[in-house]
């Protein structure tokens, strides 16, 4: 299960679908602990979102087949995390990719089509959420803590994005995995 909330409030994505890539350990363990420390009571599962939450008006199985077909030609790629930032409009604290942002944007544009085409409230911006649904008066203090903890982290800061998970919001703030979809494997040269 995955917690993923819209920037405009709880529960507004009930029944919606999203496409994410889960971050492996030990990086995920650090990010989940940081998120839990900054927003107690959340149920995090570290991920980067390829397609933000959206309604689906097509058959789920056909949509999963379409995602698999559309992602067949997309090879896995490396994501390297950069610095801690804040979306000022929503006070969401996040870590931005320093490497791989172009590739995940291309993935977004390739998959935001057909049954999954949707126009989000905000332009697509690849990121890993660290804290959200914060009172504005707490965001400055919490971003300072996040930056300090991220600077002290000595583990890996990157991961290979090699598969996607199609997830559905099945209850308020609860996302369930529907399907895992591997990206195409790179062809060896030589």
Q: With 70 as the cut, is the pLDDT of residue 109 above it?
A: yes
Residue 7 lies in a domain: no
Please report which helix (H) or strand (E) contains residue 98, including its range: strand 92-99
Q: With 80 as the cut, is the pLDDT of residue 4 above it?
A: no
What CATH code is carried by the domain that includes residue 160?
3.90.1140.10
Residue 67 lies in a domain: yes
Report, as an integer, the average pLDDT of 83-111.
94
Structure confidence at residue 10 (pLDDT): 47
Residue 4 lies in a domain: no
Structure confidence at residue 185 (pLDDT): 53
Structure confidence at residue 7 (pLDDT): 41
Structure confidence at residue 189 (pLDDT): 55
Distance of CA 171 to the CA centre of its chain: 18
Confidence of residue 174 (pLDDT cuts 50, 70, 90): confident
Task: Tokens for 53, please give them.
Answer: 């939450």
Burial 80-118 (b: 16+ CB within 10 A, else e): ebeebbbbeebbbbbbebeebbebbeebbeebbeebbee
Residue 10 lies in a domain: no
Sheet strands side by side (includes 163-171): 47-54, 17-22, 163-171, 174-182
What's the chain's average pLDDT?
Answer: 89
Q: With 60 as the cut, is the pLDDT of residue 118 above it?
A: yes
Q: With 60 as the cut, is the pLDDT of residue 181 above it?
A: yes
Residue 1 lies in a domain: no
* Cis amide bond preceding 26, omega within 30: yes
Enclosing domain of residue 134: 17-182
Report, as an integer, the average pLDDT of 39-57.
92
Per the structure, the count of domains in the chain is: 1
Residue 54 lies in a domain: yes
Q: Is the pTM of this model over 0.75?
A: yes
Q: How far apart are CA 117 and CA 188, in angstroms?
A: 33
């Amino acid at each position: 299960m995955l917690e993923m909330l819209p920037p405009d409030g709880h529960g507004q994505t009930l029944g919606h679908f999203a496409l994410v890539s889960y971050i492996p350990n030990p990086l995920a363990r650090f990010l989940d602990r940081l998120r839990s420390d900054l927003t107690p009571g959340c149920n995090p599962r570290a991920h980067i979102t390829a397609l933000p939450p959206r309604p689906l008006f097509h058959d789920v199985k056909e949509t999963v087949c379409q995602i698999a077909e559309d992602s067949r030609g997309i090879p896995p790629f490396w994501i390297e995390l950069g610095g801690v930032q804040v979306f000022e409009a929503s006070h969401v604290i996040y870590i931005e990719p320093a490497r791989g942002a172009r590739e995940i944007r291309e993935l977004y544009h390739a998959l935001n089509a057909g049954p999954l085409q949707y126009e989000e409230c905000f332009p697509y911006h690849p990121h890993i959420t660290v804290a959200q649904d914060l009172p504005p008066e707490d965001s400055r203090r919490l971003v300072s803590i996040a930056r300090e903890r991220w600077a002290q982290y000595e583990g890996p800061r990157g991961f290979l994005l090699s598969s996607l998970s199609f997830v559905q919001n099945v209850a308020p703030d609860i996302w369930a995995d529907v399907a895992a979809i591997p990206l195409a494997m790179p062809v060896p040269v030589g």
